């Protein structure tokens, strides 16, 4: 990936858009934004606007950095895309593109460049250089059981920016440390760079190594992996092949942009025509092992964000609900509420615990709750102390 220091002309912050007054290299500009705060998660670069970073879900202006003109953001975009001809062509034809970028010894980035009002804007998601562990992410310890599964589908779901990729990276890291497996990942783009450990890991990137997730997933079935990671289940074909892979003895990991476990099941079933949905329900009921859904919430002490994680596990009861549909009193949420001894947990229960422990505020919990009314009733006896 090209990271040659190129110079970008910029206009001093607060000044009108005039001819460039000073120059700064794109890597130096990006580095300054990253180093502004160790908790920076995203960089936002817009023309005629001070450069901003996202901290704990809020945008903050980076002081001391110049404002870029429209011409400058176009040059920064070109620097970030580099020699990636596919991304450049996609940006030209579709108005937006995804790519990856890195600055040695600092960070890797997942970037999106897009046109707006005839100019270019850039959003960069920071991907840490190291692979996170369960302990780093404070993941529920019962999720370590996933690493001992022999087959089936494990889905990690949540909105964009909720930490799905980090959770999967921690799971793959643990498998890599404890199992002598062949692991194949299919990603868009590759985010965490996994070294070979006890396992052998091959990572394929969409567009540069394969044209589609579905084609790469079909090919993976002939590559003798024990574990397959698919960056995202984007369409019906990918979902169907993933289920086939799980049914033929592979452990398949993937993500979906759904807010909780019940919505994940609905989304998968809804991808198929009505005539096929009964068969798909049967297959999904037998193939899923875990659905892990997460949301990132701001901490009460202001020190970053914390993940609230919902866990649906495959049991006789949950398989029945997936296969035959949910009914009053017989829902996946009911199963998660009752399944604590089996390692399950549900969002609102997790949120209640976080409020009582002083990790998040009651207002934050109610804002992110699945059922705010019920959570409010559960916390009726709770008196919140000032931070």
* Segment 280-333, tens digit of pLDDT: 999 999 999 999 999 999 999 988 899 999 999 999 999 999 999 999 889 999
Which residue in 287, 251, 247, 249 sits closest to 268, CA to CA?
A: 287
Number of structural domains found in the chain: 2
Q: Let me know whether 84 and 163 are in one domain.
A: no
User: Residue 157: pLDDT above 70?
Assistant: yes
At 48-95, the pLDDT tens digits run 999 999 998 889 999 999 999 999 999 999 999 999 898 999 999 999
Q: In the prediction, which pLDDT does 188 show? A: 86
Q: What is the residue-averaged pLDDT of the chain?
A: 91
Q: Let me know whether 146 and 113 are in one domain.
A: no
Under DSSP, the state recorded for 142 is: G
Q: Let me know whether 159 and 264 are in one domain.
A: yes
3-state secondary structure of 46: coil
In a domain? residue 379: no
Q: Let me know whether 225 and 332 are in one domain.
A: yes
Helix extents (H) in 110-212: 134-137, 164-178
Q: In the prediction, which pLDDT does 386 show? A: 64
Helix extents (H) in the chain: 26-34, 70-81, 85-94, 134-137, 164-178, 213-220, 236-247, 261-270, 274-287, 316-324, 332-338, 347-356, 362-368, 372-378
Q: In the prediction, which pLDDT does 23 show? A: 66
User: Residue 27: pLDDT above 50?
Assistant: yes
CB 318 within 8 A of CB 324: no
User: Residue 17: pLDDT above 60?
Assistant: no
Q: Which pLDDT band, with edges at 50, 70 and 90, does 6 fall under? A: very low
Q: Let me know whether 244 and 284 are in one domain.
A: yes
Q: In the prediction, which pLDDT does 149 show? A: 97
In a domain? residue 377: no
Say what percent of the chain tops pLDDT 70.
94
User: Residue 114: pLDDT above 50?
Assistant: yes
- DSSP strands (E only) in 78-168: 96-103, 107-116, 119-127, 152-157
Q: Let me know whether 74 and 43 are in one domain.
A: yes
In a domain? residue 253: yes
- Listed residues 112, 127, 142: the one ending a domain: 127
In a domain? residue 366: no
CB 203 within 8 A of CB 190: yes
Q: In the prediction, which pLDDT does 57 show? A: 83
Beta carbons within 8 Å of 165's beta carbon, 6+ residues apart: 127, 191, 192, 255
3-state secondary structure of 248: coil
Q: In the prediction, which pLDDT does 387 show? A: 53
Provide mean pLDDT across the span 132-138: 95
The values of phi and psi at residue 238, to 5°, are -65, -40
**Chain centroid, CA 324 distance in Å:** 30
Q: Let me know whether 141 and 109 are in one domain.
A: no
In a domain? residue 362: no
* Structural domain of 301: 134-345
Q: Let me know whether 221 and 313 are in one domain.
A: yes
- Listed residues 67, 94, 127: the one ending a domain: 127
Question: Residue 116 maps to which CATH number?
Answer: 3.30.450.90
3-state secondary structure of 185: strand
CB neighbour class for 313 (10 Å; exposed up to 12, middle 13-18, buried from 19): buried
Question: Residue 262 maps to which CATH number?
Answer: 3.40.50.300
Q: Let me know whether 164 and 81 are in one domain.
A: no
Provide mean pLDDT across the span 147-161: 95
In a domain? residue 369: no
Q: Let me know whether 193 and 229 are in one domain.
A: yes
3-state secondary structure of 198: coil
3-state secondary structure of 283: helix
Neighbouring C-alpha atoms within 13 Å toward the C-beta of 254? 29
In a domain? residue 279: yes
- Listed residues 310, 327, 345: the one ending a domain: 345
User: Residue 15: pLDDT above 70?
Assistant: no
Provide mean pLDDT across the span 8-16: 39
Q: How far apart are CA 124 and CA 98, in angstroms?
A: 10
Q: Let me know whether 338 and 233 are in one domain.
A: yes
User: Residue 1: pLDDT above 50?
Assistant: no
Q: Let me know whether 240 and 152 are in one domain.
A: yes
In a domain? residue 363: no
CA angle, 62 as apex, 61 and 63 as ends, to 5°?
105
Q: How far apart are CA 239 and CA 268, in angstroms?
A: 8
| CB atoms near residue 267 (< 10 Å) | 17
């Amino acid at each position: 990936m090209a990271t040659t220091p190129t110079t970008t002309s910029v206009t001093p912050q607060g000044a009108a858009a005039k001819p460039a007054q000073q120059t700064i290299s794109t890597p130096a500009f990006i580095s300054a934004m990253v180093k502004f705060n160790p908790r920076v998660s995203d960089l936002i670069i817009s023309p005629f606007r001070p450069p901003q970073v996202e901290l704990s879900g809020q945008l903050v202006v980076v002081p001391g950095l110049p404002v870029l003109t429209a011409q400058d953001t176009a040059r920064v975009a070109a620097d970030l895309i580099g020699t990636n001809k596919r991304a450049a062509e996609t940006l030209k034809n579709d108005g937006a593109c995804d790519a990856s970028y890195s600055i040695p010894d600092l960070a890797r980035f997942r970037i999106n460049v897009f046109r707006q009002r005839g100019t270019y804007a850039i959003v960069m998601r920071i991907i840490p250089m190291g692979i996170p562990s369960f302990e780093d992410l404070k993941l529920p310890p019962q999720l370590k059981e996933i690493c001992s599964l022999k087959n089936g589908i494990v889905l990690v779901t949540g909105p964009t920016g909720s930490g799905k990729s980090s959770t999967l990276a921690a799971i793959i890291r643990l498998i890599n440390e404890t199992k002598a497996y062949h692991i194949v990942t299919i990603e868009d783009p590759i985010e965490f760079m996994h070294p070979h450990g006890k396992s052998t890991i091959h990572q394929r990137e969409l567009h540069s190594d394969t044209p589609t997730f579905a084609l790469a997933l079909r090919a993976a079935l002939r590559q003798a992996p024990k574990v397959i990671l698919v960056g995202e289940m984007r369409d019906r074909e990918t979902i169907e092949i993933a289920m086939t892979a799980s049914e033929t003895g592979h452990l398949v990991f993937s993500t979906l942009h759904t807010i909780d476990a019940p919505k994940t099941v609905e989304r998968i079933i809804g991808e198929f025509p009505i005539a096929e949905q009964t068969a798909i329900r049967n297959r999904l009921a037998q193939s899923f092992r875990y659905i892990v859904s997460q949301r990132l919430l701001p901490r009460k002490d202001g020190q970053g964000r914390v993940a609230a994680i919902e866990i649906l596990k495959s049991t006789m009861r949950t398989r029945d609900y997936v296969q035959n549909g949910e009914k009053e009193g017989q829902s996946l949420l009911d199963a998660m509420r009752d399944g604590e001894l089996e390692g399950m947990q549900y969002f609102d229960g997790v949120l209640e615990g976080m409020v009582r422990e002083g990790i998040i505020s009651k207002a934050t919990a109610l804002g992110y709750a699945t059922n705010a009314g019920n959570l409010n009733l559960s916390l009726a006896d709770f008196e919140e102390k000032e931070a």
